[in-house]
Chain A
Amino acid sequence: MIINVENLIKKYDGYTALDGLNFAVEHGDIFGFLGPNGAGKTTTIRILTAIIKADSGNVLIDGYDVFREPMAVKNIVNALPESNGYYEWMTAFEYLEFFSHLYEKKTSKQEIHDLLETVGLHRKEGHLIRSYSRGMKQRLGIARALINRPKLLFLDEPTNGLDPKGRRDIHDLVIDLNRKGGTTIFLSTHLLDDVERLCNRIAIINYGTIVKIGELDRMKGKGSIEEIFFLSTKEGAL
């Protein structure tokens, strides 16, 4: 298992964001993490990437305890947050170069070029980020998330606001990373199309707990993903 979450609880000012979350993710999965807005998806990702602390519970990432060994976890995971800002005065190359310096694993200039080629930005690597479209920025964000060649990559709503071509580009990238690179992908989204196309396993979260988890194909046997999602997240579904 690359992710093992047990009884995760997180509260904010009396509001319970995560209420005893339990789930696991295997190496090599493209794991879909679905839920309505406010279900706790982003909070979960932030805890798993050691950005914020939980109130209680256990989280192991590839055997590392997230709460005791946050730096070790950060060296092997990375993420594209939902609202990712950029240093717009930098070029794409400078942006990746900056982040590459923050990791133990060094990234050469050639590797940065290759990374930009992987995400389709090699022709624009010398352009200022402020000139980039939204889709290009998303791809740059993914490049930044790959700078340390992570074993586990978190993508939080990666296709939000993108046109169909942009979405397809991201899909292809994710599939490539998983199949060719062996990267485990944790995909948080409320877009069911993305889930159907990309994921092999999914979990549905609502009000801070997992309401459904399992292999996508097996779940689809019981109905469409849309039906399963709406049934699982309607009022009283818990």
Chain B
Amino acid sequence: MKTAFIMQKEIRESILTPKGFSWYVLTSVILSVLSYLFLTNSELSLLDQGQMLYMIMNFITALGILVGLVFGADAFAGEVERGTMEALFLSPVTKAEIAIGKLGAALTNWAIILAISLPYLFVVGKGGQNLLIGIAYVAILGTFLAIIFSAFSMGLSSRVKSVKNSLMVTFFIFLLAGAPIFLSAAQRRTWFGRILDFINPFACAINTFDSVVIDSQGLAYQAGRVAIICGYLLLSLWFLKRSVSRLEM
């Protein structure tokens, strides 16, 4: 129950302050521009519907990761810097309860972003193949990735105790995670590209989206990549638990 109140406090801060709500407005504006460009730009609009849906799914997932990283960076370091952490520690709440509450709020942020994205997914994917299955995959894998990157970021935040340093590292992580996007199709087929794809949970997700939406492949085909993502999920939660347990004033 205490976890729920901490989560509620975090969510209220997201919704009631411009700092939080601006992310939702930004998500909507960027998706509006992207989807309009996709559908009206002379070259982009002639992409296969599946291709368009795939690209929007990647963007939504990347945005979910970014928001998770940014909120996570502030989770503990921000409270320490603003002097509010001590009052929390004085209360009969365990560090694990605080972490779970904050992680719950991070997931709620992701859920709001996903809800905002749904109309765009429907509009861009309308008439194309695998729309509903694509949405299901972005919801499930996107949630896993939101947890992974939020948890890593929060764990880092509790160790570093500085929002500035925490943000710097999380942006670096974001660039690393997004690295496969910057490689060409040919580069991704090299040994280096394959290793990068293999160890990168975001790459696993976008390859899964490609496989499901464009190539219409089933769940069994995704098993390996989904297993890697689940592995990262466990690792990130372990990292968060361990980092937070060592957090001291």
Instruction: Indicate whether A and B are direct neighbours in the complex (CB within 8 Å).
Output: yes
The residues of B that contact A99 with a CB separation of less than 8 Å are 87, 91
The residues of A that contact B93 with a CB separation of less than 8 Å are 102
Summed over the interface, the residue pairs from A and B with CB atoms below 8 Å come to a total of 61
The residues of B that contact A41 with a CB separation of less than 8 Å are none
Known A-B contacts A51-B89, A71-B92, A75-B92; A98 and B84 likewise in contact (beta carbons under 8 Å): no
Q: Contacting B5 at CB < 8 Å: which of A49, A74, A101?
A: A101
Is B90 on the interface with A (CB-CB < 8 A)?
Answer: yes
The residues of A that contact B89 with a CB separation of less than 8 Å are 51
Interface of B is mostly: helix
Known A-B contacts A51-B249, A98-B9, A101-B2; A144 and B87 likewise in contact (beta carbons under 8 Å): yes
Over the window 75-109 of chain B, the binary record of Cβ atoms lying under 8 Å from chain A Cβ atoms (1 yes, 0 no) is 00001001111110111111000000000000000
Instruction: For the complex formed, measure the closest distance between the CB of A61 and the CB atoms of chain B, giving whole angstroms.
Output: 13
Q: Contacting B87 at CB < 8 Å: which of A46, A52, A84, A104?
A: A84
Q: Are A51 and B86 in contact (CB under 8 A)?
A: yes
CB under 8 Å from chain A, chain B span 7-39: 9, 13, 16-17
The residues of A that contact B82 with a CB separation of less than 8 Å are 85
The residues of A that contact B16 with a CB separation of less than 8 Å are 89
Interface size in chain B (residues, C-beta < 8 A)? 23
Q: Are B84 and A85 in contact (CB under 8 A)?
A: yes
Is A87 on the interface with B (CB-CB < 8 A)?
Answer: yes
The residues of A that contact B90 with a CB separation of less than 8 Å are 49, 51, 74, 78-79, 81, 145
Instruction: For the complex formed, measure the closest distance between the CB of A22 and the CB atoms of chain B, giving whole angstroms.
Output: 23
Over the window 80-106 of chain A, the binary record of Cβ atoms lying under 8 Å from chain B Cβ atoms (1 yes, 0 no) is 010111110100000000110111100
Q: B20's closest neighbor in chain A, by CB?
A: A89
Is B48 on the interface with A (CB-CB < 8 A)?
Answer: no
Instruction: For the complex formed, measure the closest distance between the CB of B94 and the CB atoms of chain A, giving whole angstroms.
Output: 8
Q: Are B9 and A52 in contact (CB under 8 A)?
A: no
The residues of B that contact A103 with a CB separation of less than 8 Å are 91-92
Over the window 44-74 of chain A, the binary record of Cβ atoms lying under 8 Å from chain B Cβ atoms (1 yes, 0 no) is 0010010111000000000000000001001
Question: What CA separation (Å) do A101 and B90 show in the bound complex?
Answer: 13
Q: Are B83 and A84 in contact (CB under 8 A)?
A: yes
Q: Contacting B91 at CB < 8 Å: which of A46, A74, A84, A141?
A: A74
Interface size in chain A (residues, C-beta < 8 A)? 26
Instruction: For the complex formed, measure the closest distance between the CB of A105 and the CB atoms of chain B, giving whole angstroms.
Output: 10
Known A-B contacts A87-B84, A98-B9; A46 and B92 likewise in contact (beta carbons under 8 Å): no
Q: Are A85 and B9 in contact (CB under 8 A)?
A: no
Instruction: For the complex formed, measure the closest distance between the CB of A12 and the CB atoms of chain B, giving whole angstroms.
Output: 10
Q: Are A85 and B83 in contact (CB under 8 A)?
A: yes
Is B215 on the interface with A (CB-CB < 8 A)?
Answer: no
Known A-B contacts A52-B248, A75-B92, A87-B9; A102 and B86 likewise in contact (beta carbons under 8 Å): no
Instruction: For the complex formed, measure the closest distance between the CB of B48 and the CB atoms of chain A, giving whole angstroms.
Output: 46
Question: What CA separation (Å) do A85 and B77 show in the bound complex?
Answer: 13
Question: What CA separation (Å) do A103 and B1 show in the bound complex?
Answer: 11
Q: A46's closest neighbor in chain B, by CB?
A: B249
Question: What CA separation (Å) do A75 and B91 show in the bound complex?
Answer: 7
Q: A145's closest neighbor in chain B, by CB?
A: B90
Q: Contacting A102 at CB < 8 Å: which of B2, B13, B79, B84?
A: B2
Which one of A81, A83, A141 has the highest number of Cβ atoms from chain B below 10 Å of its Cβ? Answer: A81
Q: A77's closest neighbor in chain B, by CB?
A: B90
The residues of A that contact B86 with a CB separation of less than 8 Å are 51, 81, 83-85
Question: What CA separation (Å) do A89 and B82 show in the bound complex?
Answer: 12
Other than the given A71-B92, A85-B79, 7 more pairs (CB < 8 A) read A51-B89, A51-B249, A74-B90, A84-B87, A85-B83, A86-B84, A103-B92
5 smallest CB-CB distances across A and B, nearest first, come from A85-B83, A74-B92, A102-B91, A101-B5, A85-B84
Chain A interfacial positions (CB closer than 8 Å to B): 46, 49, 51-53, 71, 74-75, 78-79, 81, 83-87, 89, 98-99, 101-104, 141, 144-145
Q: List 28 A-B contacts (CB under 8 A).
A: A51-B86, A51-B90, A51-B248, A51-B249, A52-B249, A71-B92, A75-B92, A78-B90, A79-B90, A81-B86, A81-B90, A85-B84, A86-B83, A87-B9, A87-B13, A87-B84, A89-B13, A89-B16, A98-B5, A98-B9, A99-B91, A101-B1, A101-B2, A101-B5, A102-B2, A102-B5, A102-B93, A103-B91
